[in-house]
Amino acid sequence: MPEYEERPRALQMAARVEKTDPPLLEDIFGAAALGVIMLLDDHRSVPGGEWHEDVSAWTGARIRKIMRRARASAWDRAQNVPGLTVRHGSAEVRVFVPGVVDDAPRELSKLQIQSSPLDEPDRIDELTTATDPTLTILLNPAVEMSWGKRCAQVAHAAQRCWEQLDRAERFDWNAAGRLARVHTPTSTLWDELLPRATTEIRDGGFTEIAAGTLTAASWLAA
Taking only the tens place, the pLDDT of each residue in 117-166 is 899 999 999 999 999 999 999 999 999 999 999 999 999 999 999 999 99
> How is residue 123 annotated by DSSP?
P
Distance, C-alpha 165 to centroid of its chain: 17
User: Averaged over 84-94, what is the pLDDT?
Assistant: 98
Is residue 5 very low, low, confident or very high in pLDDT (cuts 50, 70, 90)?
low
Q: How is the chain split into domains, by residue range?
A: 3-109, 134-221
Structure confidence at residue 3 (pLDDT): 44
Percent residues over pLDDT 70 in the chain: 97
For 184-217, write each residue's pLDDT tens digit: 999 999 999 999 999 999 998 888 999 999 999 9
Read off the amino acid at residue 23. Answer: P
20 Cβ contact list (under 8 Å, min separation 6): none
In the CATH hierarchy, which top-level class contains the domain 3-109?
alpha beta
Architecture of domain 134-221: 3-Layer(aba) Sandwich (3.40)
pTM of structure: 0.93
Of 151, 164, 171, 162, give the one whose Cα is nearest residue 216: 151
For 50-68, write each residue's pLDDT tens digit: 999 999 999 977 789 999 9
